[in-house]
Amino acid sequence: MTRLVVCCFSLSIDGFGAGPRQDLENPLGVGGPAMFDWFFRTRTFQRMHGGGEGGETGVDDDFAARGFDGIGAWILGRNMFGPVRGPWPDEAWKGWWGEEPPYHVPVFVLTHHPRAPLAMKGGTTFHFVTDGIESALRQAKEAAGGKDVRLGGGVATIRQYLRARLIDELHLVISPVLMGAGESLFAGLDLASLGYECVGHVPGSRAASHVTVRRRE
Amino acid sequence: MTRLVVCCFSLSIDGFGAGPRQDLENPLGVGGPAMFDWFFRTRTFQRMHGGGEGGETGVDDDFAARGFDGIGAWILGRNMFGPVRGPWPDEAWKGWWGEEPPYHVPVFVLTHHPRAPLAMKGGTTFHFVTDGIESALRQAKEAAGGKDVRLGGGVATIRQYLRARLIDELHLVISPVLMGAGESLFAGLDLASLGYECVGHVPGSRAASHVTVRRRE
């Protein structure tokens, strides 16, 4: 059965998934990169970004690699695709990742503004979905060919899918960082009442902790 | 220098320090005890509660024991002392802990309602402070004889002291539990702006993680 999963989603101990004031220079928000320190060090990340065989192996890298295994399609909120707001002025923005994005499968981008599909090198095609999160999920599941669909983020998008109880499993990575402000994953969202529970916890290679949250059937 | 410290303060991954609907039967709130699982298993906790030499040693127990070392006085919010609300009807309520509380030093209880000091077995004396958190801190520091003052909680009391930037260091223990509702330590409180930062992180013996937060000078 195709599940909707969130993987490697970094949080500060005060529950923020991104720092404040996200923009082109600070796509993770001001101070946000500190939450991803565990990920930037992994071999999986280094490979994705041209670092060859550099980077660390171990628990963190195992989780990072697993986040790409068995994934047949992705869903991204528009901010995860780029900083452009409002109608697309042209076709110039092609994502944060250059000519060959690290997805290699269909990626469904949530937006209010239609745009033609965008095929990139390496098998990634961005599809722009304007009719809501359930439509995006339906399309992604069809495209996933029996594999899982990974929801990349950002925080607001994950919160929408959580409220609708559409996420089957989340792998959260709690980094020992205090953001103070930014986008809170949990504020005003009662995950226990929505049927979610922690089912696993593994200390990371470095300072972060890996927590698995699953929706009860 | 006498510091004000918070030790062994358990949090859920969604940032709650107690469950909802605290009362006499649920002093930690409904579902709250799951956050303290790491602590209940320690030798330190077992000894405090008559369990003799039972309980586990290791990282969790080291932290639990350290929370009682070098402490010359405590400060507690009234709810930590008991479920009684409003003026004290009589002297009958003497805390949750029986005749010999585990403090063995002066304990300053924040309340709006005056009450005479209460001397218990084993060196614990409860002093009831009606003129605010700064007065309680001043009195506790005087009583601590050069040792640290430990702020026991609950959540609302810790938030008051954090807002006033009066806490020097917090040891938080993040348990892999989703509370969903209850008393949030972080909601609406920008600890980074208040000058706090994470300075340490240690995986626990069991599922919880130990995080140290310190105020910059």
ipTM: 0.84
Q: What is the mean pLDDT of residues A71-79?
A: 95
Contacts of A180 in chain B (CB under 8 A): 190-194
- pLDDT for position A51: 64
The count of other CB atoms within 10 Å of the CB of residue A1 is 6
- pLDDT for position A75: 98
Of A194, A199, A201, the C-alpha closest to A214 is A199
Q: What is the Cα–Cα distance from B106 to B128, expressed in whole angstroms?
A: 11
Higher local confidence (pLDDT), A18 or A5: A5
> What's the pTM value of the predicted model, to 2 decimals?
0.89
- Asked if the Cβ–Cβ distance from B176 to A186 is below 8 Å, we say no
Of B11, B43, B190, the C-alpha closest to A30 is B190
- Asked if the Cβ–Cβ distance from A186 to B211 is below 8 Å, we say no
Nearest-by-CA chain B residue for A186: B14
- pLDDT for position A111: 96
10-residue mean pLDDT profile of chain B (217 residues): values are: 95 92 80 88 85 85 92 95 89 91 96 96 97 98 97 95 98 95 94 95 87 93
> B132 to each of A77, B109, B176, how far by Cα in Å?
47, 10, 34
Residue with tokens 């946000």: A32
Q: What is the Cα–Cα distance from B151 to B160, expressed in whole angstroms?
A: 11
**pLDDT (tens digit per residue) in A23-67:** 777 878 888 888 988 998 999 988 887 767 789 999 999 999 999
- Asked if the Cβ–Cβ distance from A181 to B197 is below 8 Å, we say no
Secondary structure of residue B60 in the 3-state scheme:
helix
How close A203 comes to chain B (CA, Å)? 6
- Asked if the Cβ–Cβ distance from B192 to A178 is below 8 Å, we say yes
Q: At residue A9, what is the residue type? A: F
Q: What is the separation, in whole angstroms, between the first and last Cα of chain A?
A: 13
- pLDDT for position B51: 64
Nearest-by-CA chain B residue for A187: B187
- pLDDT for position A121: 96
- pLDDT for position A28: 82
Of B46, B53, B39, B49, the C-alpha closest to B8 is B39
Q: What is the Cα–Cα distance from A19 to A16, expressed in whole angstroms?
A: 7
